[in-house]
Amino acid sequence: MHEADHPPAPGTLVVDTSRGDRVGEFRGLAGPYWALRPVRGGPEWEAEPHAVRPADPMERLRAETARRNARSAEGLL
């Protein structure tokens, strides 16, 4: 079974391979596409499910660090 048959849970970190391996947070379905949001915030984008893969441990660590750094810089932590 292909990964695209079952979208991840909202909030799961994934990688959009069609956008240079951009890491995003899965937000939900947008018609035939998956809605992803940048880890540090910003506008969502849509990705074709077949071009999305789960983030590996190092990608998740980098994304979480970037999110914490951004929140810290904004005084949110």
**What is the spatial distance between Cα 7 and Cα 15, in angstroms, rounded to a whole number?**
13
**What is the spatial distance between Cα 10 and Cα 32, in angstroms, rounded to a whole number?**
16
Helix, strand, or coil here: 65?
helix
Give the chain's residues under pLDDT 50: 1-2
Q: Is the entire prediction scored with pTM above 0.85? A: no
The dihedrals phi and psi of 50, each to the nearest 5 degrees, come to: -70, -15
pLDDT score at 2: 47
Each residue's pLDDT tens digit, 1-20: 345 568 999 999 999 999 99
pLDDT score at 22: 96
pLDDT score at 77: 52
Report residue 52 as tokens.
């999305």
